[in-house]
Amino acid sequence: MAVLPILSYPDPRLRTIAAPVKEVDAEIKTLISDMIETMYAADGIGLAASQVDRHIQLIVMDLSENRDTPMVFINPKVTPLVEEKQPYEEGCLSVPDVYDKVERPSKVRIEALDADGEPIDEIAEGLLAVCIQHEMDHLNGVIFVDYLSRLKQTRARDKVKKVLKIREKQSQQAAKQPEATNV
């Protein structure tokens, strides 16, 4: 397993439309494991393949408290079941440290394949409904900040730039200093 680099907003590669997965083969299974590891390493609850620069219809998620119940959605189709939209404070691993309210239908049907290629057909509400719609957007090249005002999009862009700079500095410093010994 490997931790994959995550693309950051406004990287144009995040706008790529994902193609359907043709077969759940060994290569896809490796990517699934890597994406789950990447999601955990980044402390996220969901990750779309688009975010790791693989433009196929694949999403991983873990909404459990103990972070031990990964879910996999291949070739997902999400259908809203209600007109009513609910606001939810969203964040995204591709837009670090930016959070804002997005309104989405509160109840959806999810049809997909799981990691074994078996069909999933379930009704989702609450956080699962929010998360699957957020990840579906990634597969369609949409990022949650697209729903926000121009001003907020500009601010998000600046914030991400800042965060990336700080992270780069931190990793340079970490590389310079000898590894601390844990006793």
135 is a catalytic site residue: yes
Work out which of 78, 92, 113, 124 binds Zn ion, going by CB under 5 A. Answer: 92
CB 92, min distance to Zn ion, A: 3
Write the CB contacts of 91 (distance below 8 Å, at least 6 apart in sequence). 98, 99
Nearer to Zn ion, 120 or 142 (CB): 142
Q: Are strands 119-125 and 107-113 parallel, antiparallel or unpaired?
A: antiparallel
Sign of CA dihedral 124, 126, 132, 136: positive
Catalytic position from the list 37, 65, 90, 135: 135
Nearer to Zn ion, 92 or 130 (CB): 92
Question: Which residue of this chain has its Cβ atom nearest to Zn ion in the complex?
Answer: 92
CA count, 13 A, side-chain hemisphere, 20: 8
Helices (H), 68-176: 126-139, 150-176
Nearer to Zn ion, 59 or 92 (CB): 92
Contacts with Zn ion, residue ranges (CB under 5 A): 92
Q: Which residues are catalytic?
A: 135
